[in-house]
Amino acid sequence: MSTQPAQTTSRVRKLATKAAYSKGASEKLVKTRTRLVAVSAKIRNAVAAGRIDATDQLRRAQHAVDLNLATAEERIEKLRKSGEENWEARARDVDTAWEDLSQSVKKLVASFSDIAR
C-alpha cells in the first residue's frame, strides 16, 4: 500500500484551506478599505466645515491607520505567494496585522469622537 493518495489528499486540503483563508482575508481588506474611506471622508468634511480642528492627535491616528493598512495589504500578498509549507505562519502574520489595524482604527475613531465633542 502506498501513502501517495493520503499525501496528495492532505496537500490538496492544505492548499484549499490556504486559498479560502487568502480569499477571505482579501475580501475583508476590501471591506475594511471601503469603511476607512468613509471614515476619512467624514473627518475631512468635519475639518472643512470647521466642526473640528485637524489636531496632531488626529493626524497621528490617521497615519497609524494608513501604515497598518499597508502592512495588512503586504502580509496578505505574502500569504498569497507563500508555499504550502509556510502559509500558516503567514496567516498568523495576517492575523497580527488585522489586530494592529483594528486597534489603530479604534484609536482614530476615538480621536475623532473626542475632538467632535
Q: What is the CA radius of gyration of the chain?
A: 20
Q: How far apart are the first and last CA of the chain?
A: 72
Q: What is the pLDDT of residue 112?
A: 78
pLDDT digits (tens, 9 = 90+) for 10-23: 777 777 888 899 99
Q: Give me the residue spans of the domains in the chain.
A: 4-116
Q: What is the pLDDT of residue 93?
A: 96
User: In a 10 Å sphere around its CB, with 0-12 CB exposed, 13-18 middle and 19+ buried, how is residue 97 labelled?
Assistant: buried
CA 61 and chain centroid, separation = 16
pLDDT digits (tens, 9 = 90+) for 9-61: 777 777 788 889 999 999 999 999 998 898 888 888 888 888 878 788 888 89
What's the CATH class of domain 4-116? mainly alpha
Q: Position 95: which residue type? A: D
Mean pLDDT score of the chain, rounded to an integer? Answer: 86
Residue 1 pLDDT > 60, yes or no?
Answer: no
